[in-house]
Amino acid sequence: MMKPTVGTFLSIGSPVIVELASLSGFDWVLIDLEHGSGSESAMPDQLRALRGSKTQGIVRVGAPHPDLIARVLDWGAHGIMVPHVNSSAEAEQIVQAAHYSPRGRRGFSRTVRAHDYGLRSPEQSPAPLIMPQIETIEGVNHAAEIAQTEGVDVLFVGPADLQHELSHRSAAAPGDFAECLNIVVAAAKGAGKEAGILVRDPADLPHYLELGFTRIAIDSDLSILRKSWQQTLSILRSKP
């Protein structure tokens, strides 16, 4: 059985928060370019904040554009997450964008940060971790095919998007949210891959581990900060 790893979503765009998450002991962080506040130009400094740590830096790109995938990997991301992956063909295109020839079509440069600006051989760099997100009914229905794609490492459920779609298209779904989770986990296990999910409440972590998820993100920097401020102000304002 694969050892579970715990991460968190980072959407504020601050290298200080990335560094603090790493120092706090997360196995990995997800730096969000899809819904996050940080721009592409802020990405290199966020990844630099992980230098020398054991924390993996995964970047969620907003779309499977090969040039963007190549850039974040050149900047030193350990891997990528791609939203709304619905087929093995889409997964294959993502893998090709992330890998050099002969596996893929990523542009090759020895002098990018990922290879210590030419001080380290590209052959010494590990293969990028690739995490397609399963966020639609179509993605759930094709989860087994996506998982079988060579180069895919983790099927990562986007719970908000999937639940939203299920609330509007339940007749087309293979089951309710719980059944969809079971389908994704089974697809990942069947291919010898990991299943991942974003969990908002740390108390729910044992439940998802029991379901078979091994790469779990606990909440996000923005959400944690918002809830902490609200709790603090609520206590202060409740006093006479």
Amino acid, res. 94: I
Give dist(CA 201, CA 24) in Å, integer. Answer: 18
Give dist(CA 156, CA 111) in Å, integer. Answer: 31
Kindly report the backbone phi and psi dihedral angles of residue 169, in degrees, each rounded to the nearest multiple of 5, phi listed first.
Answer: -135, 40
Residue 203, C-beta contacts closer than 8 angstroms, at least 6 positions apart: none
Kindly report the backbone phi and psi dihedral angles of residue 39, in degrees, each rounded to the nearest multiple of 5, phi listed first.
Answer: -95, 175
Which pLDDT score, from 0 to 100, does residue 2 have?
A: 77
Q: What is the CATH number of the domain that holds 159?
A: 3.20.20.60
Which pLDDT score, from 0 to 100, does residue 171 have?
A: 87
Give dist(CA 131, CA 83) in Å, integer. Answer: 9
Q: Quote the DSSP letter at residue 33.
A: S
Which pLDDT score, from 0 to 100, does residue 1 have?
A: 63
Amino acid, res. 34: E
Half-sphere exposure of 147 (CA within 13 A, CB side): 24
Low-confidence ranges of the chain (pLDDT < 70): 1, 240
Identify the CA nearest to 144 among candidates 85, 191, 196: 191
Q: Mean pLDDT across the chain, nearest whole number?
A: 95
77 with 90: CB under 8 angstroms?
no
The residues annotated with a catalytic role in the active site are 35
Q: How many domains does the chain have?
A: 1
Domain residues for the domain of 168 are 5-238
Burial 221-230 (b: 16+ CB within 10 A, else e): bbeeeeeeee
